[in-house]
Amino acid sequence: MTVIDATETDFQTQVIDRSHTTPVVVDFWAPWCGPCKQLTPLLEQLTGDAEGGVVLAKVNTDENQGLAQSYGVQGIPAVKAFVDGKVVDEFVGAQNPAVVQRFFAKLIPSEADGLVASGDEDQLRKALELEPGRTDASLALAALLHERGEVDEALKLLEQVHGSFRADGMAAALRLRDDPSLELDEAFDALDAGKAGEALEVLLDRVRRFPDKRDDLRAIIVGILDELGVDHPLARDVRRKLAAALY
């Protein structure tokens, strides 16, 4: 079981740096806090059950008031989960065991997570057996199928994914990629080269020129923007141009 005491002096190393390889649950507590004494044994138990998948770092707020202030701790026990140096989840108070168990479960990679990380086709298929319609596994497997020309199989796979702009965009791209009238090679080549801006300009042009293909072209554009993220410099400008082209 990996349980450590973290302080202002070593918090960067013990929590922030370590969280880039293993999720770290930080328990902000104090010796006088009754609910803390109830919660800490459960945190320690679940950390042990994780068998190295999670580290528990205990921070005494009486001795590390600067840390508590930095992370907005206003009541204790306060529990925060760190992944890749950032707080990804948190709760305050001595929650019931089921709540705390779910908190830990979200941090520990599932069997499917490990299979997807491999990128191997057989492993991706196993991941989808465990979690049908899983987006990252479906996207990766669909890309492999497309590379060897199994477009219909890739499309069937993507149809099982719901609520993903990237999956919708990939499916639309597979449907339009071989349409010679659209001349989309330039866009896809630019994407492959990491030149999203050039690709989006080509796609926007096709939205204006081919109204009968607008739904699929729009899906491709939205999928690209989703992958880039809402804060990407292209996002606002492209969305404005897309709206103008559509309406």
Write a three-state SS string for the chain. Answer: CCEEECCCCCHHHHHHHHHHCCCEEEEEECCCCHHHHHHHHHHHHHHHHCCCCCEEEEEECCCCHHHHHHCCCCCCCEEEEEECCEEEEEEECCCCHHHHHHHHHCCCCCHHHHHHHHCCHHHHHHHHHHCCCCHHHHHHHHHHHHHCCCHHHHHHHHHCCCCCHHHHHHHHHHHHCCCHHHCCHHHHHHHHCCCHHHHHHHHHHHHHHCHHHHHHHHHHHHHHHHHHCCCCHHHHHHHHHHHHHHC
Q: Is the peptide bond before 109 cis (omega within 30 degrees of 0)?
A: no
Nearest residue to 171 via CA among 125, 219, 233: 219
Q: Which residue has the tokens 């477009």?
A: 151
> How far apart, in whole angstroms, are the C-alpha atoms of residue 23 and residue 15?
9
Asked about 118 being catalytic, the answer comes back as no
Displacement of CA 5 from its chain's centroid (Å): 29
Asked about 112 being catalytic, the answer comes back as no
Active-site option among 6, 25, 33, 116: 33
Active-site option among 6, 15, 25, 36: 36
Residue 218, both tokens: 């729009």
Residues classed as catalytic: 33, 36
